[in-house]
Structure 1
Amino acid sequence: MHSTNYVNTFIQVAEDSPASSATVPPQRATASVAELTFRMIAEAPYRYTSDDVVFTVWADRRAVPEGERAAAREQFFAKGQPCLRSSDLGKRYGWGIHSDAEGRIALVAVGSAEYARLAEGRAPDGTTVALTRAMRTSRRK
């Protein structure tokens, strides 16, 4: 079984992100993956793991019935899935993603004091966090 979860890790915004501050993904007639991901994490910080969010967004967009979700989740993670490093939240919209010791995640706005502390490798509770970045939008030249 594959996983997209990180533990004690901070995903910083991408090096080539155009965002100088965090913005909410725009609402569309059909909600984008970024909008659904943002809403789920922002409404319940440190409640869900990355796997929870990635799967739920996928299942909601495909209208997978609740009764079929356990089997669908098992099938979904039977192969590797893109993690939140590839999300537009860190690539375009200026949101870092902090995973705590239990793998639960929260959004952190670029430019905030909390973002600066996490970018130095320190979690809110003082523990050390591993640092990584959201994936670049463009290839390096």
Structure 2
Amino acid sequence: MSYTDTFIRVAEDCPEEIGVPPMSCRTLPPAHVIQYELLINEPYKYNHEELLYEVHIRHKQIPLEDRVTKRKEIWNELFSRNHPCLRASLLPKRFGWGVHYNTEGKIALYGKESPEYVYFTSQEEDLVKILSAMRNKRERG
């Protein structure tokens, strides 16, 4: 799912009060680390589908030659199945990052402590739709 003019605020049960860069000691970094690196280094470059594709090819370490010659095949195979939106990402659930989709659906991250995060989550005008990241734990009822 791709959003436009939307801000995903940090999950209610997120343990962080500021945006914390995710770390991994694995040889192959997990998807949320790759998402973070792409979005923090190039804000508003990727829409949701482009981000999923970039994360996929990096996580699977698809060779550059295949990325060029088989791009359409890789893309079609990747999107032949559903993928969760960034509301389910560990970035807003666990690491304190809000996710902004601009008018074109391009994505940027903002730490919970940033002026941009405060702006998007406390606006009086309806400039963007505000959604919450998914909770980390289910409420017991």
Q: TM-score, normalised by structure 1?
A: 0.88
Distance (whole Å) between structure 2 residues aligned to residue 107 and residue 88 of structure 1: 12
Distance (whole Å) between structure 2 residues aligned to residue 131 and residue 121 of structure 1: 10
1:78 maps to 80
SS at match of 2:70: helix
1:53 offset after TM fit, Å?
Answer: 1.0
Of the structure 1 ranges 49-58 and 82-91, higher mean CA displacement relative to structure 2 is found in: 49-58
1:51 offset after TM fit, Å?
Answer: 1.3
1:31 maps to 29
Distance (whole Å) between structure 2 residues aligned to residue 99 and residue 41 of structure 1: 11
SS at match of 2:100: strand
1:7 aligns with 2:4: yes
Distance (whole Å) between structure 1 residues aligned to residue 129 and residue 122 of structure 2: 10
Q: Pick from 53, 56, 62: which aligns with 1:55?
A: 53
CA-based RMSD: 1.7
Give the greater-gyration-radius structure (CA).
2
Judge conservation of contact 2:99–2:108 (CA < 8 Å) in 1: yes
Identity %: 30
Aligned residues between the structures: 135
1:127 offset after TM fit, Å?
Answer: 7.0
1:136 maps to 135
Look up the equivalent residue of 1:49 and give its one-letter code: N
1:56 offset after TM fit, Å?
Answer: 1.4
Look up the equivalent residue of 1:22 and give its one-letter code: G
Judge conservation of contact 2:28–2:59 (CA < 8 Å) in 1: no
Unaligned runs of 5+ in 1: none
2:108 maps to 106
2:15 maps to 18
Look up the equivalent residue of 1:60 and give its one-letter code: R
Judge conservation of contact 1:121–1:131 (CA < 8 Å) in 2: no
Q: Deviations over 1:89-117 (max 9, x none)?
A: 01111000000000000001102211011
Q: Deviations over 1:48-97 (max 9, x none)?
A: 11211122112221233212222221222233211111111011110000
Distance (whole Å) between structure 1 residues aligned to residue 60 and residue 113 of structure 2: 35
1:120 offset after TM fit, Å?
Answer: 2.4
2:119 maps to 117
